[in-house]
Amino acid sequence: MSARKSTGDAGQGDGRGRRLVLRGVLLAVIAFVVLGFVASGCSKVSTAPDEVRLHYAGGPFEAIKFEKCISPSSGATYLGPGDTSYSYPFGQRTFDFSGSPDAESKPIRIVSKDNVEMEVAGSATFTLNTSCQTLRRFHEKIGLKYGAYFGGSESSDGWRRMLNFYFKQPLDRAMDAASQEFEWKKLFNDPDAKQQWEQRVGQLARQFIRETAGEDYFCQPNYGGSGDCGDVVLTIQKPEPPQTLIDALAAEQAAKQQNLAQQQINTKVKTELESIQDLVRVLGPQGAILWKAIQDGRVQVVPVPQGGAINITPQSR
């Protein structure tokens, strides 16, 4: 009896040992999973007043899918393990092509009707369409391609590259097309021609921007997310020709002014000659000379009594 009991106790002890080992392994696996969860961990994001975010759920072992938009000025939003969010600007933004150090682009080059190359500086003011589903389409079609979202390592470069493609190229096309209708002097010097050119550029630019983007992603500066998207607002400076042409135009204007002045001098001389001819016809040559001398103050007229003598003495000058 004691031998059998002893053998049974040993079996029970082995069973308990195996269960303890299995429990330890299970706890280790759970701990490993928990640590992995924590490592890949949850995160939280919040948005500034000029920012909107797109939240995508998913991780290494599941498909990534769109979750929701996070509105401006939102408090902490928790993202699950593997989730991502992408930040985009909310409110007015500008594509600056003035060529200044912080501008997105250099001035745009155009060619006039008479084949003169000119430079145009300016800006395009707009609001990114942050209506949730529209912004999602923009992100998936354009934003991801260029890395145009903010907060990442390539946010500034990506946003700039995106604007250069979706703004600069349409603007370049629009300005070139409109400039073929005007000569360079009119674009540079004629306010009416410049106004017509600006209107034409505006029409073509808005058309080409929409065509390039494929949808109304870029709206008028005060767009609030509902209703008509509106048009991008363009501010463009007077086209500038090469400095050599500006100098030549200035010389041409100076010559015109000199010619006008000479014409006025000639007119005055002609009038004076005609006046002298009239005096000669009336007074004779000597009388005309005397009249002219009196008018110029070179001869003094002294009244004398009737029958008296008179001496005429020219004044020394």
Identify the pLDDT of residue 261. 59
* Residues 64 and 206 both lie in one domain: no
Domain total of the chain: 3
Residue 163 forms part of a structural domain: yes
Residue 255 burial class via C-beta count within 10 angstroms: exposed 0-12, middle 13-18, buried 19 and up: exposed
* Residues 105 and 170 both lie in one domain: yes
Domain holding 65, by residue range, is: 39-89
Q: Model confidence over 161-197: pLDDT tens digits?
A: 999 999 999 999 999 999 999 999 999 989 999 999 9
Q: Report the distance separating Cα 184 and Cα 225, nearest Å.
A: 41
- The upper half-sphere exposure of residue 91, i.e. CA atoms within 13 Å in the direction of its Cβ, equals 7
Final residue of a structural domain among 219, 241, 263: 241
* Residues 220 and 250 both lie in one domain: no
Q: Which helix (H) or strand (E) holds 262?
A: helix 243-295
- The upper half-sphere exposure of residue 262, i.e. CA atoms within 13 Å in the direction of its Cβ, equals 6
- Tell me if the pTM is above 0.85: no
* Residues 63 and 180 both lie in one domain: no
* The two structure tokens encoding residue 55: 């939240």
Confidence of residue 37 (pLDDT cuts 50, 70, 90): very low
Identify the pLDDT of residue 116. 92
